[in-house]
Structure 1
Amino acid sequence: MIKLCRLDAIPENGSKGFTTDKGDFFAVKKAGKIYLYENSCPHMSINLEWQPDQFLDNEKRLIQCATHGAQFLMETGECVVGPCEGDHLTKVSYIIRDDTLYLPD
Structure 2
Amino acid sequence: MTAQPLLDLERLPDGALAEVEAVLDGDAESLLLLRDGDAVRAWLNICPHAGRRLDWAPGQFLRSKDGLLVCAAHGASFELEKGECVAGPCRGDALRPVAVEVRDGAVWLVGG
Q: What's the TM-score once normalised by structure 1's chain length?
A: 0.88
Tell me by how many angstroms 1:88 deviates.
0.3
* 1:36 has 2:25 as partner: no
Larger radius of gyration: 2
* Structure 1 residues 60 and 10: CA distance shift in structure 2, 3 A: farther
Q: How does 1:67-86 map to 2 (within 5 A)?
A: 67-86=73-92
Instruction: Please say which of residues 22-31 and 62-71 is displaced more in the overlay.
Output: 22-31
Counterpart in the other structure of 2:16: 14
Residue 24 of structure 1 aligns with an amino acid whose one-letter code is S
Stretches of 4+ aligned residues off by more than 3 angstroms: 30-33
Counterpart in the other structure of 2:103: 97
Residue 43 of structure 1 aligns with an amino acid whose one-letter code is H
Q: Deviations over 1:39-91 (max 9, x none)?
A: 11000111100122222415371111100111101111000110000100001
Tell me, yes or no, if the aligned pair for 2:62 and 2:72 is still in contact at 8 Å.
Answer: no
Tell me by how many angstroms 1:6 deviates.
1.0
Question: 2: CA distance between counterparts of 1:50 and 1:8?
Answer: 24
* Structure 1 stretches lacking a partner, 5+ long: none
Question: 1: CA distance between counterparts of 2:37 and 2:65?
Answer: 15
Calculate the aligned-residue CA RMSD, in Å. 1.7
Tell me, yes or no, if the aligned pair for 1:14 and 1:60 is still in contact at 8 Å.
Answer: no
Tell me by how many angstroms 1:10 deviates.
1.4
* Structure 2 stretches lacking a partner, 5+ long: none
Residue 22 of structure 2 aligns with an amino acid whose one-letter code is T
